[in-house]
Amino acid sequence: MVRKPTSKETARKPNMREAILAAAEELFATNGFNAVSVRDIAQAAGANPGSVTYHFKTKDGLLLEIYRRHCGPMNLRRSELLAAAKRVRDLQDRLEAIVRAYVVPAFTSGSDLAGGGARFTRLRAVMSAEGNEVARRIIAQTFDDTSHAFIDAIHESLPHIPRTEIVWRSHFLLGALYYSLVTPERVARLSRGEADGSDAASAIEQLVQATVAAFQAPALDQTAPARRRAVASSKT
Amino acid sequence: MVRKPTSKETARKPNMREAILAAAEELFATNGFNAVSVRDIAQAAGANPGSVTYHFKTKDGLLLEIYRRHCGPMNLRRSELLAAAKRVRDLQDRLEAIVRAYVVPAFTSGSDLAGGGARFTRLRAVMSAEGNEVARRIIAQTFDDTSHAFIDAIHESLPHIPRTEIVWRSHFLLGALYYSLVTPERVARLSRGEADGSDAASAIEQLVQATVAAFQAPALDQTAPARRRAVASSKT
DNA sequence: ATGTGATTTGTACTATCGTACAAAAGATCA
DNA sequence: TGATCTTTTGTACGATAGTACAAATCACAT
């Protein structure tokens, strides 16, 4: 038997709910939350504005559902890759593997949708910049566990660096990651066309390489703040 | 004579124009462009909504004026610091001075207003995330020269790294910089209160230290792509 | 085929948006 | 003081926002 799926399950092609989610994700990620209207989303999805209300009740509810859809799979994938990375023996290699485990799912698919990882990460970047309340709540209670796991793992492979500095550097990593997804065309522009900021593969390699080096930098070590390098004539 | 200033020049206290600019800058930087209404801005500035129209014609015009106000002084300060940094003899020290010249004006005042630099930088971060058209135009034609100057200066102190990779890494620097200003509370949260993300001084030190190390990382070198490190069991 | 629940459509309501504009108020100088 | 220019105020208008809701339509088990 062919087993035609029930509408309660996943319908095949004309799934309005999914189309709305995808359209909203795309529009929110590129224009921000407030710049996009429910009518914009409906039009992009080929749906009726009222249909959005039916499926998600409110605009906030729609954003919430986008997060729900992605958070689980993405964190799962990261956890798997982190577990694998922690088994790497060589400390240098392990650090790189850990960073890669953090970066790769953010750039590529982390769920059913192809390329959904990058789009969702970009969405998170934009929501965080806008200070979106819905996003802030979800992020703190969903991603902080994973973030701590990564920070701890990195700390284990760099025991001589204070945890506080690991936090700072992983924060920088996330910022660099976000920004790479938000304005990839800037890389192409500044490199005069020699680099393609939209190429996920090279973005990942560049980011991993740079970040590993950043993590390995000597600690500032606030317990011994003696070493203060002079900057030539910084006062005008 | 006391020389009461003409209204054409800078009036002393009840300068509505300045108050509106400051309020708009603050609100845009924390909530994004579209989430803030002209009425919100007027109220925060203690002004009448119509007054905003009078001084800046449109909401876009207001944003434009904020950029105009800051871009000049900030780039000037950066150029001064960059020129000083390029005079540093030791290559390692010079690199650090260059990075510092890029970072410091973004975190502190770059204009007349105290703390204006950080607020303006945060504004730029948010506008770039939202893909704001007005901001995009100004940024490309105002900051790209400075960005190229910094990239070239860094390249000179790291001649063995391809320029393309310098571009990537300075792009990461800007992303980290932006993100540090957008969500400083995340640093405090993840470090369990041990670090203060809002402390500009430590943010600068951490960022400079990490970034210098990132710039000094060996090049990926696309001409010799042989060295490909294996990552343990990255497929599930 | 028909009834039933799920979905889609169309429309309407209220709130708020950006902006325009006339009138009031304030400042400047002969 | 009175004339003139700048600034502020108050109000209004059209557009669009989010959301509610009844009617129409669809999918599917019986």
- Whole-structure pTM value: 0.90
Residue A217 DSSP code: S
Q: Is the CB of A53 under 7 A from strand D?
A: yes
- Chain C: nucleotides under 7 Å from a protein CB? 6-12, 16-22, 27-29
B120 by DSSP, 3-state: which? helix
Give the pLDDT score at A108. 83
Min CA distance, B14 vs chain A (Å)?
A: 31
The total number of residues written for chain A in this structure: 236
Interface test with B, best of A178, A231, A233, A234 (most B CBs within 10 A): A231
Q: Please say if the pLDDT value at position A150 is more than 70.
A: yes
Q: What confidence category does residue A4 fall into, taking pLDDT thresholds of 50, 70 and 90?
A: very low
C-beta separation of A130 from A32 below 8 A: yes
Q: Please say if the pLDDT value at position A31 is more than 90.
A: yes
Domain ranges of chain B: 15-57, 71-216
- Spatial distance between the Cα atoms of A12 and A10, rounded to a whole number of angstroms: 6
C-beta separation of A51 from A20 below 8 A: yes
Give the pLDDT score at B108. 83
Q: Which residue has the tokens 């953090």?
A: A102
Q: Is the CB of A55 under 7 A from strand C?
A: yes
Which option is the CATH number for A15-57: 1.10.10.60, 1.10.10.10, 3.30.110.40, 3.40.190.10? 1.10.10.60
Q: What confidence category does residue B113 fall into, taking pLDDT thresholds of 50, 70 and 90?
A: low
Compute the half-sphere exposure of residue A71: CA atoms within 13 Å on the CB side of its CA: 19
Of B85, B169, B191, the CB nearest to A232: B85
Mean local confidence (pLDDT), B6-32 = 77
Which option is the CATH number for B71-216: 1.10.620.20, 3.90.79.10, 1.10.357.10, 3.40.50.1970? 1.10.357.10
> Chain B residues with CB inside 8 Å of A135's CB?
none
A179-198 residues touching B, CB cutoff 8 A = 179-180, 182-183, 186-187, 189-191, 194-195, 197
Q: What confidence category does residue A235 fall into, taking pLDDT thresholds of 50, 70 and 90?
A: very low
> Chain A residues with CB inside 8 Å of B187's CB?
167-168, 171
**pLDDT tens per residue, range A100-122:** 999 999 998 645 554 468 999 99
- Spatial distance between the Cα atoms of A180 and B67, rounded to a whole number of angstroms: 23
Dmax (CA) of chain B: 82
Residue-wise burial string across A5-28, b where 16 or more C-beta atoms lie within 10 A, e elsewhere? eeeeeeeeeeebbbbbbbbbbbbb
Q: Report chain A's mean pLDDT, rounded to a whole number.
A: 87
Question: Residue B175 and residue A171: Cβ atoms within 8 Å?
Answer: no
Mean local confidence (pLDDT), B47-51 = 95
Residue A220 DSSP code: -
Q: What confidence category does residue A231 fall into, taking pLDDT thresholds of 50, 70 and 90?
A: very low
Distances (CA, A) of B93 to A183, B205, B228: 30, 14, 31
Interface test with B, best of A186, A192, A215 (most B CBs within 10 A): A186
Q: Please say if the pLDDT value at position B124 is more than 80.
A: yes
For the ranges A109-123, A137-151, A202-216, B25-39, the lowest mean pLDDT is seen at: A109-123
- Spatial distance between the Cα atoms of B112 and B114, rounded to a whole number of angstroms: 6
C1’ D7 / CA B40, Å: 20
For C9, nearest residue by CA–C1' is A48
Mean local confidence (pLDDT), A198-211 = 96
Q: What confidence category does residue B2 fall into, taking pLDDT thresholds of 50, 70 and 90?
A: very low
C-beta separation of B178 from B121 below 8 A: yes
Give the pLDDT score at B232. 39
**pLDDT tens per residue, range A57-78:** 999 999 999 999 999 888 888 9
